[in-house]
Amino acid sequence: MSVTMLRPAPTGRAVRATRPAVLAALFGVLATVLSAVGSWIPSLWGDEATSIMSAQRPLSSLFVMLEHVDAVHGTYYLGLHLWGHFFGFSPFAARLPSAIAVGLATAAVVVLAARLRDTRTAVVAGLVCALLPRVTYMGEEARSFAFSAAIVAWLTVLLIAALGRERPRAGWWIGYGALLAVGTYVFLYTLLFVLVHGVVIAASRAPRRVVVRWLVAVGCAVVAVVPLLIAAVGQHHQIAYLGVVQQLAPQTLFSGLWFGGGWPLATAGWGLVVLAVVMEARRRVLARRALPAGGPRSALFLPVSASGPSLVLVALTWLLLPTLILIALQPVVPDFTARYVSFCAPAVALLVACGIDELSRWRRWAGIVAGVLVLALSVPLYVGQRTLYAKNGSDWAEVSSAVGANARPGDAVVFDEGAHPSKLPRLALHTYPAGFADTADVTLAVPFAKNTTWRDSAYSVRHAAALGRFDGIDRVWLIEYAATPSTPDHYGVADLTALGFHETGTRITTHHELVALYERTR
């Protein structure tokens, strides 16, 4: 194949005439809308309960909590605190910022693809990113992962833009350093992109003065995040469970990381990624052979166009370096779970788009078929993410509705406190409070807003009874966690029986909970 045949195929007039900024805005809005639609349907789950409850605390209480737990999420909690002050903490309101962040990330993907490749690839990348399962998942979740993706995407745009200037002004590097520091405070692993961008700078053969200014910007950012690094080391025990739970199963790595567990989509997606990388390598080999004798022979640094380094190289480094580093450290320092590399999802979208573009260069119809296939395989996963139990099987909305429809004013509620912290039925009270408005939380010991951790502390039924919490109570709703509906726990049943309560036969089974009414006759 000649070098001429490797040139991008011509794009359509309408697409070619559209400015990248306009395309970025359009696809940013599209991605935001797609992530926001139906985001209120899945029940909030444990990590989202942590976000909402932390954001609802008075600031003085939040800062006290961050001294003990979750310092690495403090910036996100502060932002959500401010957001909730204006818009509340309904599932839709709490998740909407993440949908907006997904839109920003998608816009950055379009800008990068247009700058480093062509407009057609930018359009395809925008579509893929907007519907990629990892992206649409984090776009409907009240956590910081969508923000980390947006920040690293725009950090990369900023770097590429600076590298494209003959003499970038100091403001470019000040902005880069500031965004790197903010991004690290939003999500600690953003700091790994120093290594990603180091490779990009090396591949771009940037002049020494640019490298020095970049290092200064990085150094200032690192100094700025030292307090967070110290806190993260002191609180690392919070994620020690990652060393116990299997995080590196083949299914997770192949299909779970980016493709929502969908094997057909993962197969198609990885196939397109491999195609993009192989064709890029082939292009570099051909360019290397075309060099005059005595020229530089390293394939890594060839070719570099006037617009910047290869899009495939940027995206592949973005995808692999953070992911492989965290996987490699997992046996020594547990630090990896699929959601922690969500900020690499835009890179996957770029590589898939490049693979589709390679097929289009070969045969236009092949590219169209590949693009339609990827989008078609993404739709069922997107729909599945917007079902009631899509978030870790959580059913707290259903629990709240069941209590609200059946409880009488003055009824007490007892929650199963023996479940895993992220699955505690008590969290339904804080994520969907309406159903519990007229009930009494008789086992509450320390409310979360006065606690040094993110959740309530609770008494056992026996201890609460000794404190007189059941005096005057005739009806109790016991909400027990059940891994399956047929195997509920029996938390508190014996103690309620000892207090004279007996089960009435009113039992409401939800997806993972059993809501049962106990009465006491006098």
Residues 6+ apart with CB under 8 A from 154: 104, 108, 179
> How much is the mean pLDDT over the chain?
92
Q: Give the C-alpha distances (Å, rounded to integers) separating 25 from 105, 294, 341.
A: 11, 46, 25
Q: Looking at residue 485, what is its pLDDT?
A: 60
Find how far residue 84's CA is from the centre of its chain: 19
Ranking 289-303, 349-363, 415-429 by mean pLDDT, the lowest is 289-303
State the CB neighbour count (10 A cutoff) for residue 246: 7
Question: Looking at the predicted structure, is the pLDDT value of residue 300 above 60?
Answer: no
Measured distance CA(75)–CA(304) in Å, rounded:
38
pLDDT, tens digit (0-9, with 9 covering 90-100), for 234-264? 998 888 878 777 888 999 999 999 999 999 9
Q: Which amino acid is at 383?
A: V
350, 311 contact by CB (below 8 A)? yes
What pLDDT, in 10s, does the model give residues 452-478?
Answer: 999 999 999 999 999 999 999 999 999
Q: Which of 161, 149, 239 is nearest to 190 (CA)?
A: 149
Q: Among 152-166, 244-258, 388-402, 424-438, whose mean pLDDT is lowest?
A: 244-258
Residue 305: DSSP 8-state: B
Q: How far is CA 403 from CA 31, 288, 479, 507, 510, in A?
A: 36, 70, 9, 11, 11
pTM for the full model? 0.93
- Lowest-confidence pick of 4-13, 129-138, 146-155, 308-317: 4-13
Q: Note if the bond before 303 is cis, omega within 30 degrees.
A: yes
pLDDT for position 168: 85
329 Cα distance to chain centroid: 20
Sequence-distant (≥ 6) Cβ neighbours of residue 245 within 8 angstroms:
none
Q: Return phi, psi of residue 112, to 5°.
A: -65, -45
What would the pLDDT profile of 216-232 be if each residue is shown by its tens digit? 999 999 999 999 999 99
Residues 6+ apart with CB under 8 A from 230: none
- The radius of gyration of the chain's CA atoms, rounded to the nearest angstrom, is 26
pLDDT confidence of residue 307: 54
432, 94 Cβ separation under 8 angstroms: no
pLDDT digit string (tens) for 16-53? Answer: 556 889 999 999 999 999 999 999 999 999 999 999 99
Per-residue pLDDT at 5 exceeds 70: no
Domain edges within the chain: 20-384, 396-519
Contact 132, 325 (CB under 8 A): no
Helices (H), 69-144: 74-87, 91-116, 119-131, 133-138
For the record, the structure tokens of 207 come out as 């002049």
Would the pLDDT of 4 be above 50? no
- H-helix or E-strand spanning residue 517: strand 513-519
Given phi > 0 = left and psi -120 to 50 = alpha, else beta, which region is 154? alpha
Residue 11 confidence (pLDDT):
45
State pLDDT tens for residues 77-127: 999 999 999 999 999 999 999 999 999 999 999 999 999 999 999 999 999
CB 3 within 8 A of CB 290: yes
Taking alpha carbons only, the member of 317, 323, 316, 318 closest to residue 340 is 323
**CA angle (184 as vertex; 183, 186 as ends), nearest 5:** 65
Tokens of 222: 């690192």
Q: Is 242 exposed, middle or buried (0-12, 13-18, 19+ CB in 10 A)?
A: middle
Mean pLDDT computed over 258-287: 94
The terminus-to-terminus CA distance of the chain in angstroms comes to: 91
Residue pair 102/72 in contact by the 8 Å Cβ criterion: no
| Helix (H/G/I), strand (E/B), else coil: 260 | coil
Give the tokens for residue 333.
């320092």
Structure confidence by residue, pLDDT tens digits, 163-196: 988 788 899 999 999 999 999 999 999 999 999 9
